[in-house]
């Protein structure tokens, strides 16, 4: 096994806090990094993040599939000594989040690169992307080809980014994350109108239900943790950007803050100007703690942004 101590330490450091792992693919469980690293199969990418692009190549010459396809050398390959089948892995220089609303263009870009690489490698398009052959386990024939970590733009030069799947069921790998996000996002922009006057939790439940419906259309569905994170991201984004819902949210927070202030006060509340500003200051702090920007707080409380900054 071609592996050194530095590689092993870095690989374990990059693992999820508690990765899925197993010696038998029929029985998968979650454990600590240290224990999981002793198993044949392991989850190498943290939830909602891509550090490694993993491809399952079912061919006796799988470890050289990258060379035959004129691709750059992978970070490593882990080969089954019995049949030659292998996992071919590329490590990214900059990990990519898969659920952040502001980074969906990057997810789509990475998805196209992943699909292109899989096609050129002749990889299994039905591979679920969760578990990989553990390169730290001596059951596999492991070869480290390079210590270089790859930029997306560099990998993109080796593949065709124009091809797209014809049907939802054909979406592969990260394409599922992007397709799920885009499909539910477009639905949510209109659906949120029916939740005006409702609560965020009710809205989140509906978004999650829609995510589960789309996920069921994939040949290889995403994990529940993936769709739950995507649902939260969409729900929060739409809720905050729907003017009606957001305004109601602000009003509720201000009301709760003023109510709490009255209950906690030893007096019935004065009429003096200083007391009025005291209420405003308290409400500003409550709104800021809820993640509302200073400019929006100032606009709602009808004071200057400088005043808000001074109060906070």
Q: What is the CA radius of gyration of the chain?
A: 25
284 contacts 311 by C-beta, under 8 angstroms: yes
pLDDT of 101 reads 62
Residues 76 and 149 placed together within one structural domain of the fold? yes
Q: Does residue 205 sit within a domain?
A: yes
Spans of the chain below 70 pLDDT: 1-3, 100-102, 163-174, 243-276, 289-290
In a domain, 150, yes or no: yes
Residue 162 lies in a domain: no
**CATH number for the domain that contains residue 190:** 1.10.340.50
- CA of 139: how far to CAs of 13, 136, 215, 283, in Å? 21, 9, 34, 61
Residue 163 lies in a domain: no
Strands 20-22 and 29-30: antiparallel
What is the predicted pLDDT for the residue at 270? 47
The pLDDT tens digits of the residues spanning 153-175 come to 999 999 988 765 545 444 556 67
Residues 99 and 110 in one domain: yes
In a domain, residue 161? The reply is: no
Q: pLDDT at position 105, please?
A: 83
Do residues 189 and 226 share a domain? yes
Residues 52 and 70: beta-carbon distance below 8 Å: no
Burial class of residue 191, CB neighbours in 10 A (0-12, 13-18, 19+): middle
**Together in a domain, 145 and 53:** yes
Range of the domain at 303: 244-311
Helix axes 200-215 and 224-241, enclosed angle (nearest 10) = 130
Q: What pLDDT is attached to residue 292?
A: 78
DSSP 86-135: EEEEEEEEEEEESS-GGGHHHHHHHHHHHHHHHHHHT--TT--SS-EE-T
CA-to-CA distance for 140 and 119, rounded, in angstroms? 24
Tens-digit pLDDT profile for residues 58-89: 999 999 999 999 999 999 999 999 999 999 99
For the question of whether the overall pTM of this predicted structure is more than 0.75, the answer is: no
Asked if 217 and 293 sit in the same domain, the reply is: no
Within a domain: residue 164? no
Same-domain status, 141 and 260: no
- Do 250 and 227 belong together in one domain? no
Same domain membership, residue 113 and residue 15: yes
Q: At which of 156, 185, 205 does a domain end?
A: 156
CB contact at 8 A, 146 and 73: yes
Q: Is 152 exposed, middle or buried (0-12, 13-18, 19+ CB in 10 A)?
A: middle
């Amino acid at each position: 096994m071609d592996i050194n101590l530095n590689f092993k330490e870095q690989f374990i450091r990059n693992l999820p806090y508690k990765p899925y792992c197993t010696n038998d693919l029929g029985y998968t469980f979650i454990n600590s990094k240290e224990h999981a690293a002793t198993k044949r199969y392991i989850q190498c990418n943290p939830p909602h993040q891509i550090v490694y692009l993993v491809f399952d190549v079912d061919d006796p010459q799988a470890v050289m599939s990258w060379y035959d396809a004129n691709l750059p050398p992978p970070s490593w390959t882990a080969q089954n000594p019995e049949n030659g089948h292998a996992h071919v892995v590329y490590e990214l220089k900059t990990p990519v989040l898969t659920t952040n609303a502001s980074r969906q263009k990057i997810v789509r870009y990475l998805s196209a690169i992943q699909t292109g690489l899989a096609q050129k490698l002749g990889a299994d398009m039905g591979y679920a992307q969760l578990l990989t052959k553990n390169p730290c386990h001596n059951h596999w024939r492991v070869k480290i080809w390079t210590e270089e970590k790859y930029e997306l733009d560099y990998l993109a030069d080796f593949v065709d980014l124009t091809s797209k799947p014809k049907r939802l069921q054909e979406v592969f790998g990260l394409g599922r994350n992007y397709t799920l996000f885009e499909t539910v996002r477009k639905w949510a922009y209109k659906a949120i109108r029916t939740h005006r006057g409702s609560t965020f939790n009710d809205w989140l439940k509906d978004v999650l239900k829609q995510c589960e419906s789309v996920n069921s259309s994939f040949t290889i569905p995403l994990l529940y943790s993936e769709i739950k994170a995507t649902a939260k991201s969409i729900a929060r984004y739409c809720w905050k950007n729907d003017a009606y819902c957001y305004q109601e949210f602000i009003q509720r927070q201000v009301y709760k803050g003023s109510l709490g202030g009255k209950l906690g006060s030893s007096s019935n509340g004065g009429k003096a100007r200083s007391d009025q500003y005291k209420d405003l200051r308290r409400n500003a702090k409550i709104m800021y703690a809820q993640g509302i920007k200073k400019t929006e707080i100032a606009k709602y409380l009808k004071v200057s942004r400088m005043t808000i900054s001074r109060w906070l």
